[in-house]
Structure 1
Amino acid sequence: MYTLLIANKNYSSWSLRPWLAMSVAGIPFKEEKLTLFTPEFTARLAPLTPAGTVPVLLHGDFAVWDSLAICEYIAERHPQARLWPTDAQARARARSLAAQMHSGFSDLRNVLPMNIEALLPGIDISPAAQQDISRVQAIWQDTRAEYGQGGPFLFGGFTIADAFFAPVVSRFITYGVPAAAGPVREYMDAVLSLPAMQAWMREAKAEGIFLPPDEPYRTQR
């Protein structure tokens, strides 16, 4: 049995990624949620990961940390879940996109932090963040056109690449990022329609916890 340690669902984009991948794939796990910026958070993670961050996957007495490493571990142990495309080139492209999302788009992350409960249209989006937004939308459109014939996701069926872009979809909703009718809007709707994504968002909105370090645009809920 797996245990997945995550943080606040309203704010923790890194927690959402493996949680969504495992949930959509139907892989059973126990969820353990910690509150960011608390002594309990630090104490719980200290013996498990030198990074001191979530997510962490516990499999027996073995710990895997980092969202991409967790997803790779799960994909290897559960090949029947098809969390990567079966075609070698499509699989390589999906891995490239997940890695790009994992390490890139820093301006988008910093200017538009994940905040599912909030609706904050009209904030000042920097040119660098706007460039990241355009790049992400182009990736979605181009990948759907090349690989997405078999379903509504980037590679047809749901993959880890979709799990990695899911927090960005939520950001675009929070900050009112325009998405005209067409492939980009259709892709966002597919992600938002996932029962697991809907469950995460409901629980995020119900948390009732306001964390000032993750709230650059509000002083209260």
Structure 2
Amino acid sequence: MYTLIVGNKNYSSWSLRPWLLLRMLNIPFNERLQPFVDYGSHDQFRQFSPTGRVPLLTDGDTSVWDSLAIAEYAAEDHPLVWPADRTARAFARSIAAEMHSGFSALRNVCTMNCGLRIDLNERSPALEQDLARIDEIWCEGLSRFGGPFLAGQQFTAADAFYAPVAMRLQTYGITLSPAAADYGKRLLSLPPMVEWYEAGLAEIWREPVHEQEARAAGKITQDLRRTA
């Protein structure tokens, strides 16, 4: 059975992707949570991960790091990770790769912090460009393949890779076009997403770098997280 090592659920967008994918496709795995203590130091993670980062998946003696590599590894045993239709599969892989390598303004400005509500100080042209492209991707996928997910009727890795965006939209009160907004709400309402979110709120760890990034982004209007 797989073991998936993830970081704090309040902060770790990269961990959410493979975790949600495995849960939504009912792929059995053991979860191991390794909380961030000092984000600037990767020593604690180097004990099990060659990059000093999470997520990391183990399967017997095999270790797979990086969320996209984990998705592809799981797809070898579980074809439903990607759409069966070739055209839909090409689209899903393309947009997952685009998310994996791009959207730096969204990542840098809107750090993931599930339990906060933040009014942004500003929405730079680069951030607006990222949001417009996400809106375009979501609307194109829903329109081309009929929904309710990005590549058709079934949840795939493409949806898993955009799930942290839905969390960020909620945190920062960002609204997209109606079709895209409905899709984001649909992601947030998935039972595993609700489970992840509630677990994030229940965490009592506070990692200074992530907290500083959230404060720099704008005015914190709510902190819904459990206190120690």
Q: What TM-score results when the alignment is normalised by the length of structure 2? A: 0.88
Contact 2:111 2:214 in 1 (8 A): no
Residue matched to 2:161: 164
Equivalent of 1:117 in 110, 115, 118: 115
Q: What does 1:1-221 correspond to in 2, within 5 Å?
A: 1-38=1-38, 42-43=42-43, 45-79=45-79, 82-147=80-145, 149=146, 151-156=147-152, 157-180=154-177, 182-215=178-211, 216-218=213-215
- Say what the alpha-carbon RMSD is for the aligned residues: 1.9
- Cα distance between partner residues in 2 of 1:62 and 1:45: 17
- 1:44 deviates by 5.0
- Cα distance between partner residues in 1 of 2:91 and 2:130: 19
Contact 2:4 2:31 in 1 (8 A): yes
- How far does the alpha carbon of each residue in 1:156-210 deviate from its partner, in whole angstroms, 9 at most, with x for none? 2111000000001110110011234x31122112111110001000000110222
- Cα distance between partner residues in 1 of 2:9 and 2:53: 14
User: Which letter does structure 1 place at the counterpart of 2:36?
Assistant: L
- 1:100 deviates by 0.3
Deviates more, 1:138-147 or 1:197-206: 138-147
- 1:43 deviates by 4.9
Residues 210 and 218 of structure 1: CA distance in aligned 2, closer, same or farther (over 3 Å): farther
The count of residues paired between Structure 1 and Structure 2 equals: 215
Contact 1:111 1:126 in 2 (8 A): no
**Relative contact order higher in (CA < 8 Å, ≥ 6 apart):** 2
User: Larger % of strand: which?
Assistant: 2
Contact 1:121 1:177 in 2 (8 A): no
- Cα distance between partner residues in 2 of 1:124 and 1:34: 33
Contact 2:106 2:131 in 1 (8 A): yes
Contact 2:113 2:214 in 1 (8 A): no
User: Which letter does structure 1 place at the counterpart of 2:86?
Assistant: A
User: Which letter does structure 2 place at the counterpart of 1:172?
Assistant: L
Contact 1:6 1:56 in 2 (8 A): yes
Q: Percent identity?
A: 47
Residues 198 and 106 of structure 1: CA distance in aligned 2, closer, same or farther (over 3 Å): same
- Cα distance between partner residues in 2 of 1:96 and 1:30: 29
User: Which letter does structure 2 place at the counterpart of 1:198?
Assistant: V
- Cα distance between partner residues in 1 of 2:121 and 2:30: 37
